[in-house]
Every structure is written in structure tokens, then in C-alpha cells.
A and B are shown apart, each in its own frame.
Chain A
């Protein structure tokens, strides 16, 4: 049996720790920002950016499959549904 792929790469010692700590801090800041913003449209946009941050977090913690799920659902699908809903509500109010 042979493998179709091999990944012989290394990163400097301590690099992953630094990356993980940085992204954890960024995620905490992003989550706080999502909660504090009161304007719905702005909140959705920040939520989408926060989804991307979370995706990077999962990547830094070696879970590329969760990264893909988070990118598609957290950064794209959920904001789309929220934005469409906001657009519809706005139209109805006019």
C-alpha cells in the first residue's frame, strides 16, 4: 500500500504556541465585539469576521475539517440567512 500524499514540513519551535495564544486572544476579542455591537447589520458583518477567526483557531489547533465547516457555516451560511432576514424585515417595515 502506498500513500498518494506525504507532508514533510516543520515549523520553528514555539511558533505554534505563539500562533495559538494570539488567535485565542483574537477570538475572545471578536466574541466580545459581536456581543457589544447593537446595530444588527453591523453585528452580522462582525459575526462573519468572527467566524473566520474561529476557523483560523481550529486550523491552528490542527482540525482542518472543523475549519472548513466553520468557514462555510459560521462565516458564510449563517450571516447570509441573517442578512436576508434583515433585508426582508426592512422591506416590510417600509
Chain B
């Protein structure tokens, strides 16, 4: 195909795309125009019904709590999957990581990085807890809080070394916290069933003052457990990635130092 023909084909394709795009855009509702009824109904009812002023949290953990359970377990499955895929297989030799070996050359962490990381670890942890435990009062939630909590542990890694990270967040403990977080959410939902209520019904007292920390019943509790789950899952995933360098396949497919490595089974 000559360049001229190719340009012609490209022009034809682009013209078709542009036509369909403009046709699709012309059918959209106007900017800022919301045609559906549910948003207005929720805005009208949510605070009265749930006593949570963080209406997004009220929707996430109550009105569509069932969906959120599923999303929660997506992350749980992702962390579990990372752990399983990156586990030590038979025939794989465990080698100490370059940054974990006893005779390693320690790359000097600059004083500035250490200082900043140490300075921020405490405040970051506080912000994480605050976000995870105030979902009922502001637009935060367990998810954001959990990620920020995990960031605090990354700061520990930055300020020290991998071994320090392992000491402050042992894998067994992190896994347990993740399981408690994911299981806690499901357990709160299931606990409604013996009372004769639907799964994830908000059965706890909702308090007197909407938007107070103690308000909103199960919404605040679920957000807290989500925070645990998300924080632990992120720490586990990042920990697995940090450790991953270290597995070396034995035999002729030795590939730890080679840049072009192949999947087992594929011809080199």
C-alpha cells in the first residue's frame, strides 16, 4: 500500500469516527443537566434516613452496600492473587534480595529523604485513620483512608529499609488485618439476617446528631473495616512486589540477571 493510499484510508476512518462522535455527542444531555430522578431522591432522603452527612458514604455503604461488598472482595482477591502468583514454587531457589542480603551494598538514603519520610509518617497515619473513621461526616471513606494508611508504611520503607518495613508490618499480621477487614464488612451485613432484616440493613442506633462521628450506625463501622482491608491489601501487594526480585528459577532458565527473560514453557 502506498503512503498516499494509507493516508486516504486514515482520512476515511477519521471522518467516520468524527461523524459518529459528533452524532453521539449531540444526543447527550446538556452540561450539568442531570435527567435522572435518583440523585434528587437520595439528596432529599439520605441525611434523614441514615444520619450521615457524607452522602457518598451513605450510598456506598448502605444504599448500594451490596455492590460495595463485591468491590471490597475484588481488592481482596487481587491481593490474594498477587500473593499466589508471586509465591515460591518448587524448583525456585530463594535468593536474598539485593536490598536484603547481609553483604549488600547499601545505597545511601539521602538525609533529606529520611527526614521528610520520618516527619510525615506520623501525620500521614493520623490522616489515614481520620479519613477511614469519618466517612459518615465528610466525603472521605475507608478506601481513601486505607490507601493513605498504606502510604505511611511506604514512608517507613523510604526512611529505612525493607527489613524495617517487614518488622513494622509482618506479613502474617497484615494478612490477618486484611482478612478481618474484608470479613468484618461481610459479617456486619450478615448479622442483619438473624434479626429478620435484609442483608446489610443498617440496624445499629444512628445517633441524634447527623454528621457526628458517632452517627449513622453501620455506615461508620463498615467504613472502618474497609479502611483496614484496603490498607492491609496495599501493603501486601507492594510488599510482594518488593520481594519479587528474589526468586530465581533453577536450571537452564536461570534468568535473574538477564534482561530478556522468558515465561516457563516458552522457547527462549
Interface residues of A (CB under 8 A from B): 1-5, 64-65, 67-69, 71-73, 76-77, 80-81, 84-85, 88, 91-93
Contact = CB atoms under 8 A, between A and B. Distances in A.
B147 A72 contact: yes
A94 B101 CA distance: 16
A5 B150 contact: no
B166 to A, nearest CB: 15
A81 B53 contact: no
A76 to B, nearest CB: 6
Contacts of B256: 92
Given A68-B144, A91-B99, A1 B48 contact: yes
B47 interface: yes
A45 to B, nearest CB: 15
B143 interface: yes
B139 A65 contact: yes
A91 B98 contact: yes
Contact of B241 (A72, A85, A91): A85
A5 B53 CA distance: 8
17 contacts: A2-B210, A3-B47, A3-B210, A3-B211, A4-B211, A65-B140, A68-B144, A69-B143, A69-B144, A72-B151, A76-B151, A77-B147, A77-B150, A77-B151, A84-B238, A91-B99, A93-B259
B61 interface: no
Contacts of B185: none
Contacts of A1: 47-48, 51, 208, 210
Interface residues of B, number: 38
A81 B141 contact: no
A6 B85 CA distance: 49
Contacts of A4: 53, 137, 209-212, 215
B234 interface: yes
B242 interface: yes
Contacts of A5: 53, 137, 211
A18 to B, nearest CB: 15
- Residue among A1, A65, A69 with max Cβ neighbours from chain B (10 Å): A65
Given A80-B238, A84-B242, A92-B256, 8 more contacts: A1-B208, A2-B208, A4-B212, A65-B57, A65-B144, A73-B147, A81-B238, A85-B241
